[in-house]
Structure 1
Amino acid sequence: MSGKAKELIAQEIAGRVQNGQCIGVGTGTTVAAALEAIRHRIQKEALQLTVVPTSLQSAWTAEDIGLTVLAPTFTGRIDWSFDGADEVDSQMRLIKGRGGAMFHEKIVAEKSLHFVVIADSSKCVNRLGELHPVPIEFEPAARGIVERGLLALGGFDITLRECQFVGRSGPYYTQCGNLVFDVRFSQVPESLESEINAIPGVIENGLFLSQADELLMADDSGITSRMR
């Protein structure tokens, strides 16, 4: 997403904030830009907000700008949430999780009364999986069971995600200490999200087939909104 499009999205998100709300906050550079725009509103209007972030990165950013931060285990109501996506199809079905936070991202999305997805045209696909594999978070002890289960569901090119941090090697571990498979599927039926999660040892997967309530598409010329 271009710098101008990010700024338009950030202002749109910040403009929706209301005093006293509890908001779910995703992860990424566009989300960080939105939090900065929210900070300016807080400074001008003395708004009181509570946020439920999906990652440590977002939690630290929110704390830095003075927001009250709750863990994803928070059991109360989340008024609305916003986050990006790695892929979006014509039915507003998503692939998320390239950053490895899909477990908490899905928890926050499911708890939210309204889940807003932010994206640009580069994320739009005709078929889910066209650009990216589906990430699967799983318990390390269940690696073999999970791999066999994914093969049985039609998964292929199953790859254990590697750590991308400079100076470190070996497998990538999520915030919860789990491993991630990146898996290709030739088709993504509506049942696949739950079928993957039914494999013993799977924690969560990056298919968000029904969670999105609104899609905000941005480019340099403006923003369009689409509701489910």
Structure 2
Amino acid sequence: MSLQLTPIDRAKYAAARRAVDLVEDGMKLGLGTGSTAAWMVRALAERVREDGLRLTCVATSARTGQLATELGLKVVTLDEAGWLDLTIDGADEFDTDLTLIKGGGGALLMEKIVATASDRMVVITDASKEVKTLGHFPLPVEVIRFGWQSSRMLTEELLSAMDVMGTQAALRMNGETPFVTDEGNYILDLALGRIGNPRQLSLALNQVPGVVENGLFIDICDAVVIGFGDGRVEMRDIASGSVEHEKIVFEDEDNIFRDI
């Protein structure tokens, strides 16, 4: 009996399948975090099994590392791997310049470190994540726990002078307690509505005492692979300006998704 996958799940898997075709034997890879990245890790493990690729992987979160290890991928630290050839990750929003909002999964700090330690970053996503102007998705900002309320007040004060629609910063919760990142920090989610100048906002946020990093990824992403529910994929490369289209065939969903 075949699993009944949602169109969004099929779109994510189609994008992931296309992205792992970019992987070559001997590469050092950054593995992203989130639901779309999880499809990528599974598709990557499938390629390793079928094609015998020798890869060294760096995970951007504990849960990605655990999944990759369980699927037989070699996972090391970034310090052990050194510079990476490619990072494949998801995004919560992206615009036409491939500026991203990331951090919905709570791993923005490690994701940004790994992405910027790579020759190339490719984002995999479904079409719903593309926007004309960033900001509908809350912008995550990672802060240290000490004095986090002061950091929140300073952040909200700063936002009043930025080109944004909203100024509310909410502490991310995990049930009844604050969400804690793998690095032991808290996350403030900024309800901005619209971000008129992402570069200016990113620079300003990182000047707030207690802020570790923010979820704006600027001039980091090189290409985006957009998946659709019917298996179609569109790959846009910002450097070359090229746009490629193809279709992924779902041959055996029982086999593909048996570990979910």
Q: TM-score, normalised by structure 1?
A: 0.90
Q: Does the 8 Å contact 2:12/2:124 carry over to 1?
A: no
Structure 1 segment 132-151 matched on structure 2, within 5 A:
132-151=137-156
Q: Does the 8 Å contact 1:215/1:227 carry over to 2?
A: yes
TM-superposition CA deviations, 1:124-159 (whole Å, max 9, x none): 1122112x2111111111313312331232161111
How many angstroms does 1:19 deviate by? 1.0
**2:26 paired residue among 20, 25, 29:** 20
Residue 89 of structure 1 aligns with which residue? Answer: 95
Residue 223 of structure 2 aligns with which residue? Answer: 214
Structure 1 segment 198-213 matched on structure 2, within 5 A:
198-213=207-222
In the alignment, structure 2 segments of 5+ residues that lack a partner are: 1-6, 161-166, 239-260
Residue 226 of structure 1 aligns with which residue? Answer: 236
Q: Does the 8 Å contact 1:54/1:72 carry over to 2?
A: no
Residue 157 of structure 1 aligns with which residue? Answer: 168
SS of match in other structure, 2:236: strand
TM-superposition CA deviations, 1:173-194 (whole Å, max 9, x none): 1111111111133434112112
SS of match in other structure, 1:112: coil
Residue 196 of structure 1 aligns with which residue? Answer: 205
How many angstroms does 1:72 deviate by? 3.9
Residue 122 of structure 1 aligns with which residue? Answer: 128
* 139-148 or 42-51: bigger deviation: 139-148
CA gap of 1:102–1:110, structure 2 versus 1, over 3 A, is same
**1:176 paired residue among 183, 199, 223:** 183
Q: What letter matches 2:186 in structure 1?
A: L
How many angstroms does 1:123 deviate by? 0.7
Q: What letter matches 1:227 in structure 2?
A: D
RMSD: 1.7
TM-superposition CA deviations, 1:8-62 (whole Å, max 9, x none): 2232123222111000000123222222222222222221111111111110111
1:7 and 1:134 map into 2 onto residues whose CA distance is: 25
Q: Does the 8 Å contact 1:117/1:216 carry over to 2?
A: yes
SS of match in other structure, 2:174: coil
Q: What letter matches 1:158 in structure 2?
A: A
1:205 and 1:115 map into 2 onto residues whose CA distance is: 18
Residue 43 of structure 1 aligns with which residue? Answer: 49
SS of match in other structure, 1:141: coil
How many angstroms does 1:161 deviate by? 0.9
Residue 68 of structure 2 aligns with which residue? Answer: 62
Q: Does the 8 Å contact 1:72/1:107 carry over to 2?
A: no
Q: Does the 8 Å contact 1:142/1:200 carry over to 2?
A: no
* 91-100 or 150-159: bigger deviation: 150-159
In the alignment, structure 1 segments of 5+ residues that lack a partner are: none
SS of match in other structure, 1:68: coil
Q: What letter matches 1:11 in structure 2?
A: R
Matched, 1:187 2:199: no
2:27 and 2:81 map into 1 onto residues whose CA distance is: 15
* 114-123 or 26-35: bigger deviation: 26-35
SS of match in other structure, 2:134: coil
How many angstroms does 1:101 deviate by? 0.4
How many angstroms does 1:74 deviate by? 4.4
Q: TM-score, normalised by structure 2?
A: 0.80
How many angstroms does 1:110 deviate by? 0.5
* 136-145 or 91-100: bigger deviation: 136-145
* 48-57 or 29-38: bigger deviation: 29-38
SS of match in other structure, 1:43: helix
1:95 and 1:61 map into 2 onto residues whose CA distance is: 24
